[in-house]
Structure 1
């Protein structure tokens, strides 16, 4: 019982149920459309990459106004939060036949692979994609070491 984890067990059960219903077309019933914070399908979806000088985070946040986005950088973690508003008129619909696009508040924390120079971080938002450039601290950059012969 020392290594028992409730969330890991719940996730394992969810995967088993998805596999059981996969061939019957019912697996979509088990997928949440939108889960803020901690959930099965984290939102926003991100890409995290790096080169010699920077880390780059690209987050898909369609339908979110730039003024609704908030970012914080603390101890090697980048946290994105905000809110995707419901489209006007949707709340009045009597019957939904399919509802895959969610709304509401969200929070996503991304662990960065190294230390970042917080004073030089830049972010740009265009067409529903948030692009964040996080310059590495000098200590995190790769160092070339010359080998002495002789």
Structure 2
């Protein structure tokens, strides 16, 4: 038998410590180019065999005022969102949850992204960007001889 004695459950304490550490770093980016909490627009990024799909949730943005560019593997989305309906005159505002003003969001693309194959469309408040992959990076079947 060991002379070492724990007054509490060791695994319970480790679990508590892990939860505290997770809470401490909650909202921090997972990479240097990731966004901070509250960044606009929020995005979803996914991939298929032939494309990289990006959805930027940007309600209230005039699509004609969006600026989308790719440079050195970085996709940049910039624009401005204005206030649609101001509060009535004389109203003292004590909360504002809707972001207004200019924004810029930069997303690092994978190496297989082809900057010459980009398509963007704005539908129902969502900016949908499709970036094609280079032919050399697409999966292909190899036959054994």
The TM-score, its normalising length taken from structure 1, stands at 0.67
1:56 corresponds to 2:49: no
Determine if contact 1:114/1:140 at 8 Å carries over to the other structure: no
Would you say how many aligned residue pairs link Structure 1 and Structure 2? 118
1:101 to 98, 101, 110: 98
The TM-score, its normalising length taken from structure 2, stands at 0.69
Q: Deviation string for 1:7-29 (max 9, x for gaps)?
A: xxxxxxxx64x9xxxxxxxxxxx
How does 1:1-150 map onto structure 2 within 5 Å? 16=24, 39-90=36-87, 92=89, 94-148=91-145
Question: Comparing both structures, which one devotes a greater share of its residues to strand?
Answer: 2
- What is the deviation of 1:103? 0.2
Structure 2's unaligned 5+ residue stretches are 1-22, 27-34
Q: Deviation string for 1:99-124 (max 9, x for gaps)?
A: 10010010111111233222221111
3-state DSSP of counterpart to 1:139:
helix
Structure 1's unaligned 5+ residue stretches are 1-14, 19-37
Whole-angstrom distance in 1 between the partners of 2:81 and 2:127: 14
3-state DSSP of counterpart to 1:121:
strand
- Seen in structure 2, the aligned counterparts of structure 1 residues 146 and 41 have a Cα distance that, compared at 3 Å, is farther
Question: Comparing both structures, which one devotes a greater share of its residues to helix?
Answer: 1
